[in-house]
Amino acid sequence: MPRRPVAVFAIAPWAFGGVFPADLVTRLQELVDIDPATTFTSFEGAAAAAALAEADILVTGWGAPRIDAGVLAAAPRLRAIVHAAGTVKAGVDPLVFERGVVVSSAAEANAVPVADYTMAMLVLGAKQVFSRARGYAAAVEGAPREWLRGEGTGLHDCTVGVIGASRIGRLVLRRLQSFEVEVLLYDPYVTAAEAARLGAEQVSMDDLCRRSDLVTVHAPALPETRHMLDGRRLDLLPDGAVVINTARGSLIDTEALTRSCAGGRISAILDVTDPEPLPPGHPLFSLPNVLVTPHLAGAQGRELRRLGEFAVAEVGRFLSGKPLLGQVEPEQLSYIA
């Protein structure tokens, strides 16, 4: 009888139950031999060595140890790393690709809640819900109630600037098609024709800033995207513009953003910051026109299961020789998250 493929879990226990509930483990066990009672966050020691010696597939997730030369040497049968979370870049040594081990990430599945969250924030941000709710809570009887009427608010007929047609950016672009808005896109990897297919007009970063009522950031953190929204570009934004960042804090110059928001000219909704977390008492926490959330847009709670489902399906595709949906190629590493 041919040997059944063997897989090994490497994922932090706090994430394991949410990403791989019992029914998904059962589905995985129909495909491979895998012990759900053992999940490694370190590959030191005899138990890890014995598991790696047999592993055809590593099913990794948050908290997985880096797959480096030592792990590869200990895992001579290893053919695939299926990562049940987003970015896998920092977790695999380039040697993994050189040895021909296939790497897959569930970034596509993690993109869904971020896109959903972004849409919610575009609607709430355009309506200035957060600052107006604060105005309501702090209202003094008899004082002017200008926050009540909402003049100049609402997403209808707005221009939305999307930075990056990344996995998340594309899902946002798709969702934006059901809103009555004009959509601009900046992405150096996308042609004007492709932008049009995505429902957007391709523009330069400066034009995007000049024309957008709302800007939503979805590019990866790379040397060339650091401070792509710097003080000069923030100054190009129209009065009353809203900046939404669910990507990475380094894409925006925090000091310049703090100055622009403190002056009241623009608002910001930030799920990510630089530094992250912000130091306690940072002005961005208390400005009435800024909402800072603790990096919660990606998969959490009930959304975690989607990562496990993606990974189980990916293991199935790998074993039956079908193309993987989340395969990461080494030449992509310079421009993906």
Ligand X SMILES: NC(=O)c1ccc[n+]([C@@H]2O[C@H](COP(=O)([O-])OP(=O)(O)OC[C@H]3O[C@@H](n4cnc5c(N)ncnc54)[C@H](O)[C@@H]3O)[C@@H](O)[C@H]2O)c1
**Which of the residues are catalytic?**
248, 276, 295
Shorter beta-carbon distance to ligand X: residue 72 or 107:
107
Closer of 55 and 228 to ligand X (Cβ): 228
Output 22 or 193, the one with its CB closest to ligand X. 193
Distance CA 150, CA 11 (A): 47
Minimum gap (Å) between residue 105 Cβ and ligand X = 8
β-partners of residue 290 are 268
Q: Are 261 and 267 in contact (CB under 8 A)?
A: yes
Name the residue nearer to ligand X (CB basis): 61 or 298: 298
Residue 332: CB minimum distance to ligand X, A: 8
Instruction: Tell me the three state secondary structure of residue 7.
Output: strand
Sheet strands side by side (includes 7-10): 7-10, 57-60, 80-83, 102-105
Rounded to whole angstroms, how far apart are CA atoms 292 and 141? 29
Q: For residues 9 and 46, what is the distance between their CA atoms, to the nearest angstrom?
A: 16
Residue 228: CB minimum distance to ligand X, A? 7
Contacts to ligand X by CB under 6 A: 86, 107, 110-111, 114, 163-168, 186-190, 218-222, 224-225, 246-248, 271-272, 295, 297-298, 335-337
| CA separation for the pair 337, 335 (Å, rounded) | 7
Closest distance between ligand X and the C-beta of residue 265, in Å?
24
Output the smallest distance, CB 147 to ligand X, in A: 28
Q: How far is the CB of 46 from ligand X (least distance, A)?
A: 36
Tokens (6 digits) for 26: 């059962």
DSSP 20: S
Closer by beta carbon to ligand X, 210 or else 295: 295
Nearer to ligand X, 51 or 217 (CB): 217
The strand order across the sheet containing 159-163 reads: 201-202, 182-186, 159-163, 214-217, 242-245, 267-270, 290-292
Minimum CB–partner distance for residue 320 and ligand X (Å)? 26
Residue closer to ligand X (CB basis): 52 or 237? 237
The two tokens of residue 120 are: 């919610």
Residue 286 contacts residue 84 (beta carbons within 8 Å): no
Query: How many whole angstroms separate alpha carbon 113 and alpha carbon 90?
Result: 22
Bin 175: left if φ > 0, else alpha if -120 < ψ < 50, else beta. Answer: alpha
List the structure tokens of 132.
């107006």
Bridge partners (DSSP) of residue 291 are 269
The number of CA neighbours under 13 Å toward the Cβ of 172 is: 34
